[in-house]
Amino acid sequence: MVEALVISQIVLWIAVLAMAAVVVALVRQIGVLHERIAPMGALAIDRGPKVGEPSPVFDLVALDQRAVALGRPSSEGRSTLLMFVSPTCPVCKKLIPVVKSIARRDSSLSLIFASDGDRAEQDRFARAHIEDYPLVLSAQLGMAFRIGKLPYAVLIDQDGKIRAKGLVNTREHLESLLEARQLGVASIQEYLRKTNPRA
């Protein structure tokens, strides 16, 4: 009886040590994968005006009757984040509080929402979700930037040039546009290609 108990204890300790070795190997592998996987930014769809080119110029009126000028140099020295959204887009609704939070935190950024469609529906949407920021309704604006999927963001600098753009589904995607502006690149992916050409 004692002999069987000793053997079972030895087998149990061997199993525990084997499992510990497997866990250490998995943790090491996760670390290696984490180093290999680069951070992903907003998905830049290569249509419409290119990053670095002047933005199309628009003089629009928001739903709350504010004048909205796009593509011209800013007299206040602020960049503009143009966020394309829709009332029927669930990801847009989840992302709106995030983008408003980013705009409140960054004093060098003006936030403008853009959409198209039924004015009454958009007005309800603006009152429920957008509140203090301008929402412009313009199919021509979407066509000028060649917007095919939502939510989509375009960052226009204080000189009226496009600094970053892309399909944004998360806070990280939005912040990658602002980070790309600070790094002076079109996208995080471009920055990674420049800093690590072998990747």
Yes or no: say if 98 and 174 are a contact pair by the CB < 8 Å rule. Answer: yes
Query: 121-132, pLDDT tens digit by residue?
Result: 998 998 888 988
17 bridge partner residues: none
Assign 30 a pLDDT band (cuts: 50, 70, 90).
Answer: confident
Q: Which residues lie below 8 Å from residue 131, measured CB to CB, with a gap of 6+?
A: 100
Q: Which stretch of 43-47, 87-91, 123-127 has the lowest confidence by average pLDDT?
A: 43-47
Selected residue with higher pLDDT from 185 and 91? 91
Whether the CA torsion 160, 104, 131, 83 is positive or negative: it is positive
Distance, C-alpha 171 to centroid of its chain: 5
Query: 171-185, pLDDT tens digit by residue?
Result: 988 988 888 878 777
pTM value? 0.75
Alpha carbon distances (Å) from 145 to 6, 26, 27, 59, 60: 74, 45, 44, 15, 15
Highest-scoring range by mean pLDDT, 47-51, 55-59, 165-169: 55-59
